Amino acid sequence: MNIGEVAERSGLPAKTIRYYEDIGLVRPQRSRNGYRAFRESDLHKLAFLGRARALGFTIEDCRTLLSLYEDESRESAQVKTLAEEHLAEIDAKISQLQSMRALLSRLVASCCGDDRPDCPILDDLAGEIH
Amino acid sequence: MNIGEVAERSGLPAKTIRYYEDIGLVRPQRSRNGYRAFRESDLHKLAFLGRARALGFTIEDCRTLLSLYEDESRESAQVKTLAEEHLAEIDAKISQLQSMRALLSRLVASCCGDDRPDCPILDDLAGEIH
DNA sequence: CCTTGAGCTTCCAGTGACTGGAAGCTCTAT
DNA sequence: ATAGAGCTTCCAGTCACTGGAAGCTCAAGG
């Protein structure tokens, strides 16, 4: 398989696949013309990576997950721990965004948004207490 | 004021303040010794930037907000529109994170996390339907 | 007066995970 | 023979900082 087909079937851009090779996540063989020659197992790995990235795992987490996946003697606790840590990070991000959202939506609601310059949003950013 | 005091009073790291000068968000004067000499108005601007960044506005949004703040003839609608767009982006991020969270927490719950290799998390990443 | 240490300066490089673009080779169809 | 798509490598840019090196300035203590 050439990179175009792998890109299509894995859902990853060809650029990303080349990048993953650069950083050692996949090691496709090469045809005599210099083109990357992907096997089904490479495609499988790339699809795995795509799904792990879609769950928000970092590239380094993905590397760990791949090696656990390929390690017959892994303990599922290792995977679960990694996933739980990631879950905690997601939760932290969500609550940070939610507090941003709460303040910002209050500010937006308090601004009448017309042609006059008075704006509680700017007042708040400027540190004026109201 | 030297940069250290401004850093302390604005809550921004000195490195960040220098960076903000680099990209033209503040223009402190200089003392004869070459040190940056901040006025109260610079400090005020930096605190404004800190609060805008804490609400998740991009640097370019901050630049726009600052110029609106300094523009006596602004229309509050301009500010409100910017804030509403940003609010929509925050909402999009939150819901993306929440769907990640939903799937990931289901996977975590289904993995017993012991010393055996069987792991529904890895199975899911590998694309195995269960 | 000298030294020490904190604080300031600039400049360069790195972060994460790609993404865009240029220059050039290969393949397929006409 | 040629056109166009697809492939190659390499370099630079994104965003918003952050770390570190090398060197200058200032205030206090001996």
Q: What is the pLDDT of residues B1-51, one digit of tens each?
A: 999 999 999 999 999 999 999 999 999 999 999 999 999 999 999 999 999
Checking if the pLDDT of A130 tops 90, the result is: no
Under an 8 A CB cutoff, do A81 and B113 touch? yes
Task: Identify nearest nucleotide to residue A34 by CA to C1′ distance.
Answer: D8
- In this structure, the answer to whether residues B10 and B51 fall within a common structural domain is yes
Predicted confidence at residue B39, as pLDDT, reads 97
CATH number at residue A36: 1.10.1660.10
- In this structure, the answer to whether residues B46 and B79 fall within a common structural domain is no
| B127, A44 contact by CB (below 8 A) | yes
- In this structure, the answer to whether residues A1 and A53 fall within a common structural domain is yes
Alpha carbon B68 to its chain centroid, in Å, reads 19
Average pLDDT of A16-31? 97
Q: Which of A44, A45, A76 is the mutation pick for testing B, counting most B CBs within 10 A?
A: A76
- In this structure, the answer to whether residues B47 and B93 fall within a common structural domain is no
| A50, A10 contact by CB (below 8 A) | yes
Q: What is the pLDDT of residues B94-129, one digit of tens each?
A: 999 999 999 999 999 999 999 999 999 999 999 987
Predicted confidence at residue A37, as pLDDT, reads 98
Predicted confidence at residue B105, as pLDDT, reads 97
- In this structure, the answer to whether residues B47 and B2 fall within a common structural domain is yes
- In this structure, the answer to whether residues B125 and B80 fall within a common structural domain is yes
| A70 occurs within a structural domain | no
Nearest to B108 among A56, A87, A118 (CB): A87
Spatial distance from the CA of B116 to the C1' of D15 (Å): 42
| A65 occurs within a structural domain | no
Predicted confidence at residue B128, as pLDDT, reads 86
- In this structure, the answer to whether residues B98 and B126 fall within a common structural domain is yes
| B79 occurs within a structural domain | yes
Determine whether the distance from the CB of A33 to the nearest atom of strand C is below 7 Å.
yes
- In this structure, the answer to whether residues B7 and B50 fall within a common structural domain is yes
Average pLDDT of A54-81? 97
- Contacts for B100-106 with beta carbons within 8 Å, 24 or more apart? B100/A54, B100/A55, B100/A56, B100/A90, B101/A87, B101/A90, B101/A91, B101/A94, B103/A55, B104/A55, B104/A56, B104/A83, B104/A86, B104/A87, B104/A90, B105/A87
Determine whether the distance from the CB of B2 to the nearest atom of strand C is below 7 Å.
yes
Using CB atoms within 10 Å of the CB of residue B30, give its burial: 0 to 12 exposed, 13 to 18 middle, 19+ buried.
exposed
Spatial distance from the CA of A44 to the C1' of C30 (Å): 37
- In this structure, the answer to whether residues A92 and A53 fall within a common structural domain is no
Determine whether the distance from the CB of B8 to the nearest atom of strand C is below 7 Å.
no
Domain that holds residue B31: 1-58
- In this structure, the answer to whether residues A3 and A44 fall within a common structural domain is yes
Total domain count, chain A: 2
